[in-house]
Structure 1
């Protein structure tokens, strides 16, 4: 069932909701066991509004990892940013916004634990 735009935007603005693109690129930066748990998040995207124009990379997912996993992902992303590491699809723009997104998610997960 499609979501209306206001509900979709509100859902996507939550820190625990990230795009398929960001999740896949982040998964390339973490160890294999954590990568599996992170990629399992991609099972059920939020329903998009009927007139949404984005492809599958713009699918949005609620990240339900435990606080320890979120912390591990955030650390891996920050280490990659500090080392200038990118993924094949982030070479042009780097990992701009990735560390901030994972920090926001970590802070939100601490408040709800």
Structure 2
């Protein structure tokens, strides 16, 4: 048993949040998987978190499909870097591989992009 904790989340504790808090940005765009983002102690973060969700049309509804969501997150990281984005509003223009921002399904802290 590790003295820092019995699982990945206990092991990291506030270390990741502490590093993120060193940045002076007031926003973190979360493009990590849910599993990885759990390693961050969100209660200690100074910045607001904007979660990005990618959904695919499946029948009459839209669902998160892991393999496609993973690719889409990578595409958005590339888009942010390539375009040197400095405003979250510019994320709404992301349209790689057919994804479109959906205002109706989005909230202030979770933006949804649909495809199909």
Q: TM-score, normalised by structure 1?
A: 0.29
Larger Rg: 2
More strand by share: 2
More helix by share: 1
